[in-house]
Structure 1
């Protein structure tokens, strides 16, 4: 049986996704095979979606968006609306409908995002970077459910200055996800660049109108965050490395 041709909207969605994939796949470290494995289909099937042979659906669109770190709406308003409507219905507690209804809820994949793991040297140079993820910037990526407000990256915690005897503690070896455009405010855990060019991970506090970088480990001293101190980003997620 001959396949039905895509309508203009479906064809435009495939074309838009193909252009985004070409522009972002290399820097995101994503291949068609990665997406095929996630969807449990062949690489040829992924090629068919990108080349407009088969129309995109909500599940396929969500997986592409997850791997490329983009919103579905960037290539398909139709599927973005479908996903949002289904998610909202699930949030309101709706369940399966009677057989007489012409639609039903479907389970959608959880949205996750891929971010590069970078070195502390790269983190310290972040403010001077010409582009967020230059070629060769990282050969390792980790995922998170956090949808960053700006370019984001993972860092592996060094030392024990953020290891606390009680309460919040971020021991050595823990991975922290840093959002470079998250709101900076006292009480947040931040990555800061000091005048020496060194990057450091501390809690931002304010006292008497002055800002300080406070270790969670009381054995370490606070550092004044003066004019030579630049906040690179805010730690928004933490993950253990096993």
Structure 2
């Protein structure tokens, strides 16, 4: 998985930011950001969480679940916020994202959820979990997302044909579908053929790309 330095490099690349613009978002010097991007300096866990907040990633929280053997002997511990982290320790960072309800997607995404689920995924934007509530994405073979699973959605990724997305058509509830493109038009396709494939209407919003399905991959 990515460590903090790799995540910053990906964030900079995907958002098409110069090193100076990234430094401005992080409220630090360009030189300081350069050290992080090159991996020559490692921030503390407290600093990581402060910079995550500065980037506006309100769902992201860094935790270290595995510590180095030469720091403590206990298998399950956490670093104190003032303890500097090594590159190896940062590779075990995990993050908690809210489990939202489909009703939460009717308007602006809420800032928090009653439940949280942990994963090692580092997102490009705000990420959240959603429960799969019907069999529209349950395929008899191949890629399938059965009812009852949790999907992790990253709102910072660009939607592309072939990806599983959360889409909201004007005046309708959000749905989980596969985005496809035919004849220059975007379509929302269920993996269960008993459900119809529909055209992306004008004003269709994409609320994120599915990056993980809990319990499958």
Q: Give the TM-score, by structure 2 length.
A: 0.63
- For residue 184 of structure 1, what is the aligned residue in structure 2? 159
1:122 Cα deviation from its structure 2 partner: 1.3
- For residue 204 of structure 1, what is the aligned residue in structure 2? 179
Secondary structure at the residue paired with 2:104? Answer: helix
Pairing 1:218–2:200 present: no
The gaps in structure 1 that reach 5 residues or longer are 1-12, 59-82, 87-106
- For residue 47 of structure 2, what is the aligned residue in structure 1? 17
1:155 Cα deviation from its structure 2 partner: 0.3
Change (3 A) 1:164 1:29: closer
Q: What is the alpha-carbon root mean square deviation over aligned residues?
A: 3.5
Q: Choose between structure 1 and 2: higher helix proportion.
A: 1
Conserved 8 A contact 1:204-1:214: yes
Pairing 1:156–2:156 present: no
Aligned residues: 163
Pairing 1:168–2:147 present: no
Pairing 1:139–2:76 present: no
Change (3 A) 1:18 1:156: closer
- For residue 56 of structure 1, what is the aligned residue in structure 2? 84
The superposition leaves residues 19-54 of structure 1 with CA deviations (integer Å, 9 ceiling, x where unpaired) of 839x79xx7697x9x99x98537xxx83xx44xxxx
The superposition leaves residues 51-81 of structure 1 with CA deviations (integer Å, 9 ceiling, x where unpaired) of xxxx4343xxxxxxxxxxxxxxxxxxxxxxx
1:191 Cα deviation from its structure 2 partner: 0.2
Secondary structure at the residue paired with 1:176? Answer: strand
Q: Distance in 2 between matches of 1:222 and 1:232?
A: 19
Match of 1:121 among 94, 103, 106: 103
Q: Distance in 1 between matches of 2:129 and 2:85?
A: 31
Q: Distance in 1 between matches of 2:93 and 2:113?
A: 22
Q: Give the TM-score, by structure 1 length.
A: 0.57
